[in-house]
């Protein structure tokens, strides 16, 4: 027995004592392979999963490193069976390899013949395979490269894809670093991606994911399709590419609800790509419109299912996923791993903060007590309506007013999920509102005025969760969210993490109704940020609205 911060249990859960002096070092050591499940005040619970271990293996971590981290930080002897299981699970990755054979084309090659014998007999896998070449290899239908990887992951034998990539149509792209340079971690992210040829780069909001994408494009020097969450985000990408690379406006096309331009670099929205009429996807032929050398998926954790299906047919193209969190509430992390690629680089948020590239953030959960009438309305609501009732309680408004008043010298975002609530907050605070029905032109006008300080406060719906560059925003007040979405919590904090010109701290408030689903969902949403080392201070609404809360 040692005095380590970690308790490793035979059911593959890891208990981390948060207040231990070695807790931060331990968190950093286990983050590449363990997933945080619960994060109350004193002990955080992580879990070892096959996908987490395979992601670590694909990113260059071996079983020896994982075992060493567990043993080094564990307070008690680590169960021997668990250590064997970790080694065996990680050893499964790469026992099957997809390779391009100069004679036969795409083949599945086994380093372990028994594994190949096992999978060729799987009914769902057999149709994807061709003739047996020899004892260790079998032909693969080229069109099934992606679906085969999905199927192999599901049966517990993730294939290492070494089949390579086509270069695509060449197009000159250079980084213009006359007034800036890639940060070390950005260069490491590009190198990690390029070494694998496809995969996901995980960086905090505000850490420059767009620049990683631009640098990957400059390395590919090829036509590029960039998929983004919305038109405003696409236009931000375009502005950044024009400012940071040799690309001109004429070389970059927008493919959205407003424009249909196919250029050497084309930026398309997920929404337009998944538009259907009579069951048919109208715009998916954009994928085949050019001989793309690189496909960039911005906010890859939001990838819609139809894009997964198309991506299964694009396995010969280099694919770069960019995200602040690989968490998907729909459980499709395995599809990201199979079809976009494994995690190639992951920078802990606190590391980037320590280097000064994102602002330090103070997270506070403000709990309000519902009035008797609100409590009764919640208690008698239908189950499907309960969250909305407690999340939109009028009692929250006084807290929001007080928080905005406390930060009158700063740029404030008030963020909600329900349109009636954000419209009422806009009227109450006498500030503009941005929601789904706001035109792209009006959105861009309001964002520009906010950036310039002409508008100090904006009320925004979930349309502002993603890819919106608001560098001077330093306060976010969250009044309602998408149930217990961890990814949304991370994105909303990310809206205020861009470093401030005067070095000041960011503040992230979430206003929660006590003793309701709102409180339960808030605890779930905070899990990812807790994994990154952020702690929430919980205060009572009376301390915010009254004089007791200390000055910032």
Domain shared by 209 and 347, yes or no: yes
* pLDDT category of residue 503 using cuts at 50, 70 and 90: confident
Euclidean distance between CA atoms 52 and 56, whole angstroms: 6
Domains in the chain, number: 4
379 and 348 in a common domain:
no
* 266 phi, psi to nearest 5 deg: -120, 130
Mean pLDDT, rounded, for 41-67? 89
Q: Does residue 526 lie in a domain region? A: yes
Q: What integer pLDDT is reported at residue 548 of this predicted model?
A: 41
User: Has residue 171 been placed in a domain?
Assistant: no
Over the range 396-409, which residues count as b (16 or more CB within 10 Å of their CB) and which as e? Answer: bbebbebbbebbee
For 258-262, 288-292, 449-453, 489-493, which range has the lowest pLDDT when averaged over its residues? Answer: 489-493
Of 92, 123, 147, which one is at a domain's C-terminal end?
92
Question: Do 407 and 540 have their domain in common?
Answer: yes
pLDDT the model gives residue 233: 85
Residue 213's domain comprises 184-352
Is residue 496 a part of any domain in this protein? Answer: yes
Residue 549 has pLDDT above 60, yes or no: no
End-of-domain residue from the set 315, 332, 352: 352
Same domain for 201 and 330? Answer: yes
Residue 177 resides in a domain: no
pLDDT in tens, 420-453: 999 999 999 999 999 888 888 888 898 888 888 8
Check whether residue 379 and residue 448 sit in a common domain.
yes
Comparing CA positions, the residue from 222, 221, 240 lying closest to residue 298 is 240
Say yes or no: 133 and 202 in one domain.
no
Question: What is the rounded average pLDDT of the residues 234-258?
Answer: 92
Question: Does 52 map to a domain?
Answer: yes
As to burial, measured by CB atoms within 10 angstroms (0-12 exposed, 13-18 middle, 19+ buried), residue 78 is buried
Tell whether 457 is covered by a domain.
yes
Confidence of residue 50 (pLDDT cuts 50, 70, 90): very high
Cα atoms found within 13 Å of the Cα of residue 294, Cβ hemisphere only? 28
The reply to whether 63 and 88 lie within a common domain is: yes
Per-residue pLDDT of 107-148, as tens digits, reads 999 999 999 999 999 999 999 999 999 999 999 988 899 999
Taking 90 as the threshold, does the pLDDT of residue 494 lie above it? no
Residue 223 lies in a domain: yes
Mean pLDDT of the chain: 87
- 36 touches 528 (CB < 8 A): yes
Is the entire prediction scored with pTM above 0.85? no
- Residue 550 is predicted with a pLDDT of 41
Boundary of a domain, candidates 336, 352, 368: 352
Q: Give 470-487 pLDDT, tens digit per residue.
A: 667 889 899 988 765 666
Please name the residues in contact with 134: beta carbons below 8 A apart, sequence gap of 6 or more: none
What pLDDT was estimated at residue 435?
Answer: 87
Residues 447, 499 within the same domain:
yes
Of 39-48, 58-67, 157-166, 204-213, the poorest mean pLDDT is in: 39-48
Q: Are residues 288 and 435 in the same domain?
A: no
206: pLDDT strictly greater than 90: no
* pLDDT beyond 80 at 164: yes
| pLDDT for res 425 | 94
Quick check: 67 and 86 in contact, CB under 8 A?
yes
172 assigned to some structural domain: no
Same domain as 502, residue 378: yes
What pLDDT is recorded for position 471?
63
Output DSSP code: residue 339. I
Residues 251 and 379 in one domain: no
> Nearest CA to 317 among 187, 252, 224, 253?
224
d(CA 478, CA 493): 9
All residues at 6 or more sequence positions from 420 whose CB lies less than 8 Å from its CB, including other chains: 392
Mean pLDDT of 488-509: 77
Which CATH number do you get for residue 320? 3.40.50.300
256 lies in the same domain as 319: yes
Contacts of 229 (CB under 8 A, 6+ apart): 269, 270, 298, 299, 302, 466, 467
Confidence at residue 432, expressed as pLDDT on a 0 to 100 scale: 93
Q: What is the spatial distance between Cα 17 and Cα 417, in angstroms, rounded to a whole number?
A: 34
Cβ neighbourhood burial of 30 (10 Å; 0-12, 13-18, 19+): buried
How far apart (Å, rounded) are the C-alpha atoms in residues 43 and 14? 10
């Amino acid at each position: 027995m040692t005095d380590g911060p970690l308790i490793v249990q035979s059911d593959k859960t890891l208990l981390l004592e948060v207040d231990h002096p070695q807790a931060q070092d331990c968190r950093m050591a286990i983050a590449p392979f363990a997933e945080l499940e619960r994060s109350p005040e004193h002990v955080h619970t992580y879990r070892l999963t096959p996908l987490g271990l395979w992601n670590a293996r694909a990113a260059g971590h071996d079983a020896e490193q994982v075992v060493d981290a567990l043993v080094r930080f564990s307070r008690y002897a680590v169960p021997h069976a668990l250590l064997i299981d970790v080694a065996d699970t990680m050893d499964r990755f790469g026992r099957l390899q997809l390779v391009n054979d100069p004679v036969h084309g795409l083949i599945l090659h086994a380093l372990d013949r028994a594994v190949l014998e096992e999978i060729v007999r799987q009914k769902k896998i057999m149709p994807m395979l061709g003739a047996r070449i020899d004892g260790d290899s079998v032909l693969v239908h080229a069109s099934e490269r992606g679906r085969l990887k999905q199927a192999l992951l599901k049966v517990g034998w993730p294939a290492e894809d070494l089949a390579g990539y086509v270069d695509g149509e060449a197009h000159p792209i250079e980084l213009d670093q006359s007034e800036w340079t890639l940060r070390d971690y950005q260069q490491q992210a590009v190198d990690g991606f390029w070494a694998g040829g496809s995969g996901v780069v995980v960086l905090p909001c505000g850490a420059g994911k767009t620049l990683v994408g631009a640098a990957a494009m400059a390395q590919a020097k090829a036509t590029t399709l960039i998929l983004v969450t919305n038109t405003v985000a696409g236009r931000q990408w375009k502005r950044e590419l024009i400012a940071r690379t040799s690309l001109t406006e004429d070389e970059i096309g927008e493919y959205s609800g407003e424009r249909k331009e196919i250029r050497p670099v084309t930026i398309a929205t997920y929404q337009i790509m998944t538009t259907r009429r009579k069951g048919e996807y109208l715009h998916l032929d954009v994928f085949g419109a050019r001989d793309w050398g690189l496909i960039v998926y911005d906010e890859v954790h939001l990838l819609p299912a139809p894009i997964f299906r198309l991506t299964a047919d694009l396995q010969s193209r280099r694919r770069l996923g960019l995200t602040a969190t690989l968490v998907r509430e729909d459980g499709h992390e395995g599809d990201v791993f199979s079809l976009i690629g494994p995690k190639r680089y992951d920078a802990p948020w606190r590391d980037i903060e320590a280097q000064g590239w994102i602002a330090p953030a103070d997270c506070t959960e403000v709990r309000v007590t519902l009035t008797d009438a609100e409590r009764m309305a919640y208690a008698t609501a239908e189950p499907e309506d309960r969250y909305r009732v407690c999340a939109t309680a009028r009692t929250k408004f006084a807290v929001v007013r007080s928080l905005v008043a406390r930060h009158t010298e700063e740029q404030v975002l008030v963020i909600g999920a329900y349109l009636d609530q954000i419209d009422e907050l806009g009227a109450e605070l006498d500030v503009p509102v941005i929601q789904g029905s706001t035109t792209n032109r009006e959105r861009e006008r309001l964002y520009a005025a906010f950036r310039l300080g002409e508008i100090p406060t904006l009320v925004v719906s979930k349309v502002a969760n993603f890819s919106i560059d608001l560098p001077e925003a330093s306060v976010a007040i969250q009044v309602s969210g998408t149930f217990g979405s961890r990814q949304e919590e991370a994105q909303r904090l990310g809206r205020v993490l861009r470093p401030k010109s005067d070095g000041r701290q960011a503040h992230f408030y979430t206003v929660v109704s006590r003793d309701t689903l709102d409180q339960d969902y808030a605890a779930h949403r905070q899990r990812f940020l807790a994994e990154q080392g952020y702690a929430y201070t919980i205060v009572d609404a009376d301390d915010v609205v009254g004089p007791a809360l200390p000055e910032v």
